[in-house]
Amino acid sequence: MSKPIYIYNTLSRKKELFQPINPPFVGLYVCGPTVYGDGHLGHARPAITFDVLFRLLKHYDFKVRYVRNITDVGHLEHDADEGEDKIAKKARLEQLEPMEVVQFYTERYHKNMEDLNVLSPSIEPRASGHIIEQLKMIDQIMDNGFAYESNGSIYFDVEAYNKKHHYGKLSGRNIDDLLNTTRQLDGQEEKRNSFDFALWKKANPEHIMRWPSKYSDGFPGWHMECSAMSTKYLGQEFDIHGGGMDLQFPHHECEIAQSTAAHGSESVKYWMHNNMITINGQKMGKSLGNFITLNEFFEGSHKLLDQAYNPMTVRFFILQAHYRSTVDFSNEALQAAEKGLSRLLSAYETLQKIKPSEQSDVDVKTLNNKCYEAINDDLNTPIVIAHLFEGVKMINTLSDGKAQINTDDLAILQSTFKTFIFEILGLKAPENDIQNDLTDQLMRILIDARQEAKDKKDWATADAIRDKLSALGVQLKDGKNGVEWSI
């Protein structure tokens, strides 16, 4: 039931029909977190955006190999390739083995992703486990004349590359802009040009994370890992590369240059970038005091938060905006999302209880088509959600007996809700609701069994059920809707 999917390709700056290179296989690479990143809210957006894409492709029966890396060879900042890396610094300060730091953050990230109902990728490679592949690619770039050695470090020669290819094509920059805007950093004197970037850095004596190579004892530049690992697992040419907009430059620009310099051709067919998250209209930042971790959201333990927010509220809120728009977090907006999600999920419950009639007064086929059209239009989740709320109105009208639905249409409406809410948008009922529902259903079984015993005048069994429940603190009493229970 594959339908044409259109995705916005950052490289061509337009929506394109998605045509995999080698259908039904799809290679998807997404830049994962840098493990020192404190599990903050910003991690949720690319994870959820590309989770929806992953789910949609699987829904259409594509065989997706989804690779999402973990950056565990630290780097100073996203736009720098110098200085002591953060993992090493934390390890030194806390007297830990760097891999202990990596393990701690990786586990926390996985827990956060599980809470957000983000599916695990097919492969989650770590930069530190792919040093050999990175060095091999550096050798290829050197052999092709697009890199040079300086004091044991290897730098990408942007000027040489730019004579044959366009450096800056993804982010819409050219080399002259870069001359004026590149920041001066330590080790600058080693480079021919300020915009050259490190492929391999010779490690200072105090640098803990280091590997031997023919160039020096050192470590790879940050951009190398994604080029090397995407090539290893998805091949020299693959379908989709995603990540946050903040990674377009320099990270993804450098990836394009590295792959082209090593292999002679570009590796990625579609580049996709999600926009950023703001908090109360401001960019997130440690210095602004609005740097909120996902755990703080889930526990309500940050001073800017009025309450704890269920991970599904956070997920639903993020999906209420298109991934290429910014999302602004505030208590009011999250509380509105919480109410919206609960309306959607309770309509789904109501839908299960609706009985079909002979005829239909509702147009469920159009609703179903509109949901597919929206999701196929560059993952337009806010429009999908708007259509689902039209469905909520429909369900309430049916439930009130003001309209009728036949068996076929009821099945379409149920499958539309199930497919979009759970399978594609990846939402789920909060864990507590599921537990409570189950407990209630189990209690119904016991209450019915006791009633059957009473009907058969089997007083011993009826009393035994009541007494055993009473011993657990559960009271049964007759109410207007039959026997009710309370703890």
Q: Does 31 bind Zn ion (CB under 5 A)?
A: yes
Positions 57 through 86 that interact with Zn ion (CB under 5 A): none
Residue 226 or 262 having the CB closest to Zn ion = 226
Q: How far is the CB of 85 from Zn ion (least distance, A)?
A: 16
Q: CB atoms < 10 A from the CB of 400, how many?
A: 8
Cβ-contact 269, 10 below 8 angstroms: no
Q: How far is the CB of 226 from Zn ion (least distance, A)?
A: 3
Q: How far is the CB of 135 from Zn ion (least distance, A)?
A: 18
82 to 121: interface string for Zn ion, x by CB under 5 A: ----------------------------------------
- Using the 8-state DSSP alphabet, how is residue 241 labeled? E
Kind of pairing, strands 482-486 and 475-479?
antiparallel
Options 31-39, 96-104, 178-186, 407-415: segment touching Zn ion (CB under 5 A): 31-39
Options 28-36, 53-61, 94-102, 259-267: segment touching Zn ion (CB under 5 A): 28-36
Q: CB atoms < 10 A from the CB of 384, how many?
A: 24
Q: Kindly state the number of chain residues that form the binding site for Zn ion, as judged by CB under 5 A.
A: 2
Six-digit token string for 199:
């492929």
Report CA-CA distances (Å) from 40 to 44, 326, 372.
Answer: 8, 16, 32
- In angstroms, the CA 477 to CA 323 distance is 51
Q: How far is the CB of 39 from Zn ion (least distance, A)?
A: 18
Order of strands, sheet of 277-279, starting from the edge strand that comes earlier in the sequence? 282-283, 277-279, 327-329
Report CA-CA distances (Å) from 303 to 106, 292, 306, 414.
Answer: 26, 9, 8, 41
Residue 31 or 209 having the CB closest to Zn ion = 31
Residue 226 or 469 having the CB closest to Zn ion = 226
Q: What is the DSSP annotation of 447-477?
A: HHHHHHHHHTT-HHHHHHHHHHHHHTT-EEE
Residue 31 or 67 having the CB closest to Zn ion = 31
Residue 31 or 257 having the CB closest to Zn ion = 31
Please state the φ and ψ torsions of residue 42, each to the nearest 5 degrees: -55, -30
Q: How far is the CB of 20 from Zn ion (least distance, A)?
A: 21
Residue 73 or 327 having the CB closest to Zn ion = 73
Q: What is the DSSP annotation of 172-187?
A: T--HHHHHHHPPP-TT
Q: How far is the CB of 236 from Zn ion (least distance, A)?
A: 17
Q: CB atoms < 10 A from the CB of 431, how many?
A: 12
Residues near 345 by beta carbon (within 8 Å), at least 6 away in sequence: 421, 427, 429, 433
217 to 256: interface string for Zn ion, x by CB under 5 A: ---------x------------------------------
Residue 20 or 250 having the CB closest to Zn ion = 250
- In angstroms, the CA 97 to CA 143 distance is 35
Options 23-31, 267-275, 283-291, 348-356: segment touching Zn ion (CB under 5 A): 23-31
Q: How far is the CB of 31 from Zn ion (least distance, A)?
A: 3
Please state the φ and ψ torsions of residue 393, each to the nearest 5 degrees: -60, -45
SS3 165: coil
- In angstroms, the CA 158 to CA 193 distance is 8
181 to 210: interface string for Zn ion, x by CB under 5 A: ------------------------------
Residue 226 or 344 having the CB closest to Zn ion = 226
Q: How far is the CB of 222 from Zn ion (least distance, A)?
A: 8
Cβ-contact 269, 239 below 8 angstroms: yes
Residue 263 or 302 having the CB closest to Zn ion = 263
Q: How far is the CB of 10 from Zn ion (least distance, A)?
A: 14
| Site for Zn ion, rule CB under 5 A | 31, 226
